[in-house]
Structure 1
Amino acid sequence: MSFLISLLVVLHLICWAVALGTWVAAARTRQPNKGMAHATAAAVVIGLLLAVLVSITGDPNHMKLGIKLVVGVVAVALAYIANKKGPETSSAVWFGIPTAIVLNVIIAVFV
């Protein structure tokens, strides 16, 4: 079970890295890539799987998991809004995406 949890953690962080990388690649033109929205959604789904596995095997930090879920859902919503609006995406939505991604990773590492 430990290997599975470690593997999912790696995949979870890779999804966040892909989401942030696609945002950086599109930052100059503000033309979002569909991969950004899909990577954020995959990160949230993998995070939910991790939360279930940690709840089964040990004593999870429910506050941390809840905050990460809310921030992750915000990142997914913003990424899909940006994907739908394209280059006309507002600055608040556009810069909210990397903010939510980085905040989620910070919470994962330091809390």
Structure 2
Amino acid sequence: MDLVYQLLIVLHLIGWAIVLGGTLVNLRTPKIATGVLHGILTALVTGIALAGIASAGLAGHEPNTTKIAVKLVIALVVTALVILGVRKPARVTTGYLGAIAGLTVANIAIAVLWH
């Protein structure tokens, strides 16, 4: 189960990298790239799976539930912003993409810095 857990971590990080990269690349001409939607859905699903596996004691260590809750809320907000941006492209501005990028960086920082 440890191998599955580690592979999920890799997929989770790749998902967030796609969100951040796809958002930053489109700052000049504000739009949500299709890959960003796929990236956030990958990050969200793998994050939930990682929390479930760790909480069940199957792999990893006992998770900090407060940290997981904060990260989940941020991920859900980013997901909502991306979905709304895909459905209504006229809403997408540089500030809109900045919010997505900023929340993504915040989620990554929480994962790394909160012990």
- The TM-score with structure 1 as length reference comes to 0.91
Q: Percent of aligned positions with the same letter in both sequences?
A: 34
Seen in structure 2, the aligned counterparts of structure 1 residues 98 and 15 have a Cα distance that, compared at 3 Å, is same
Shift of 1:89: 1.8
Give the secondary structure class of the aligned counterpart of 2:62.
coil
Shift of 1:10: 0.9
Question: Letter of the aligned partner of 1:15 in structure 2?
Answer: G
Note if 1:56 corresponds to 2:56. yes
CA RMSD of aligned residues (A): 1.4
Contact 1:19 1:40 in 2 (8 A): yes
Give the secondary structure class of the aligned counterpart of 1:32.
coil
Greater percentage in helix: 1
Seen in structure 2, the aligned counterparts of structure 1 residues 91 and 27 have a Cα distance that, compared at 3 Å, is closer
Alignment of 1:57-76 (within 5 A): 57=57, 58-76=61-79
Q: Tell me the matched-pair count.
A: 111
- The TM-score with structure 2 as length reference comes to 0.88
CA distance in 2, matches of 1:84, 1:90: 14
Shift of 1:8: 0.6
Question: Letter of the aligned partner of 2:23 in structure 1?
Answer: W
What residue number does 1:4 align with? 4
User: Where does the alignment leave 5 or more consecutive residues of structure 2 unmatched?
Assistant: none
Contact 2:11 2:42 in 1 (8 A): no
Question: Letter of the aligned partner of 2:66 in structure 1?
Answer: M
What residue number does 1:80 align with? 83
Shift of 1:59: 2.1
Note if 1:97 corresponds to 2:100. yes
User: Where does the alignment leave 5 or more consecutive residues of structure 1 unmatched?
Assistant: none
What residue number does 2:40 align with? 40
